[in-house]
């Protein structure tokens, strides 16, 4: 089976040696993704907006890989504050309430920068 690497253009892809997503056959694995915190639409204290931003951006990545959100079979959600569960769940549910992938949400001590509250990994199987 051939391998397709999907790059996002982030400078970290070369620095760290990774890509946003990898497709082999019909399986697509998407790297942990944080929001683009711009201070306006997405703020450092808004877990709902961060989750929404992540899923919107990954939808494009999945399209680049020949799939869509309806092909997602698992999400893994990491947060630095589990008390934000309701906000994270509300944003996740807005996209996945009918798709219903398996998921887990885990509180961790830190993400790569203090403004990030949420990071999500995705697994998809293209139809």
Tens digit of pLDDT per residue, the chain (127 long)? 899 999 988 898 999 999 999 999 999 999 999 999 999 999 999 999 999 999 999 999 999 999 999 999 999 999 999 999 999 999 999 999 999 999 999 999 999 999 999 999 999 999 9
Burial bucket for residue 39 (CB in 10 Å: 0-12, 13-18, 19+): exposed
The pLDDT value recorded for residue 1 is 86
Chain mean position to CA 7: 14
| 3-state SS, residue 124 | strand
pLDDT at 12: 87
Q: Which two tokens stand for residue 53?
A: 């931003």
Which residues face 4 on adjacent strands? 23
Euclidean distance between CA atoms 127 and 123, whole angstroms: 13
């Amino acid at each position: 089976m051939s391998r397709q690497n999907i790059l996002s253009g982030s400078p970290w892809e070369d620095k760290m040696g990774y890509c946003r997503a990898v497709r082999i056959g019909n399986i697509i694995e998407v790297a942990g993704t944080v929001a683009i915190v711009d201070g306006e639409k997405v703020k450092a204290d808004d877990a709902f907006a961060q989750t929404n931003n992540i899923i919107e951006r990954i939808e494009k990545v999945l399209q680049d890989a020949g799939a869509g959100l309806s092909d997602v079979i698992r999400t893994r959600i990491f947060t630095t504050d589990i008390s934000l569960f309701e906000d994270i769940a509300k944003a996740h549910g807005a996209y996945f309430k009918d798709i219903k992938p398996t998921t887990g949400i885990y509180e961790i001590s830190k993400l790569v920068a203090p403004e990030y509250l949420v990071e999500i990994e995705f697994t998809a199987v293209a139809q």
